[in-house]
């Protein structure tokens, strides 16, 4: 399988356990690693043989900037499920969501959740 990676997408969302997070919002960073067959696209130079990364970005943005989740695990799960349901050419993916400024009195670069999902031999979406 080949890989397409979208790194460092930044969105503003209202996810979190605390009411202040849901009201004020904050930035979230999302990375996607998609495993799929890109051989036809590489040979033909035809976007129809690949997945348009602008569309991947737009769908991810819609989810992150949409209805809030309490947990970034749930947010990552929404992204993974939506991308796999929308783009059947994706065999496996990794979704990494970073919450760079969690509301705690500690100093670090953020909290990161990473989910890996794939299609099994029956086309069902399962954890890797």
Active site residues: 99
Query: Of 128, 106, 101, which is closest to residue 117 (Cα–Cα)?
Result: 128
CATH class of 2-127: alpha beta
Q: Which residues contact 113 (CB under 8 A, 6 or more apart)?
A: 72, 73, 75, 76, 96, 97
- CA 3 vs CA 33, 38, 39: distances in Å: 7, 8, 11
Which residues sit opposite 127 in a β-bridge?
117
Task: Give yes or no for residue 106 having a pLDDT over 90.
Answer: no
The percentage of the chain sitting over the pLDDT mark of 90, rounded to a whole number, equals 87
pTM: 0.94
**What confidence score (pLDDT) does residue 111 get?**
87
**What confidence score (pLDDT) does residue 108 get?**
80
Domain locations in the chain? 2-127
- How does pLDDT run across 41-80, given as a tens digit for each residue? 999 999 999 999 999 999 999 999 999 999 999 999 999 9
């Amino acid at each position: 399988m080949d890989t397409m990676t979208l790194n460092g997408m930044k969105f503003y969302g209202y996810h979190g356990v605390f009411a202040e997070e849901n009201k004020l919002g904050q930035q979230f960073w999302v990375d996607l690693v998609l495993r799929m067959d890109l051989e036809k696209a590489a040979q033909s130079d035809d976007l129809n043989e690949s997945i348009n990364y602008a569309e991947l970005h737009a769908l991810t943005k819609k989810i992150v900037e949409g209805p809030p989740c309490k947990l970034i695990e749930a947010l990552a799960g929404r992204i993974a499920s939506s991308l796999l349901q929308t783009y059947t050419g994706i065999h496996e993916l990794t979704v990494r969501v970073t919450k760079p400024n969690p509301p705690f009195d500690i100093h670090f670069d953020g909290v990161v959740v990473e989910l890996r999902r794939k299609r099994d031999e029956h086309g069902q979406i399962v954890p890797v």
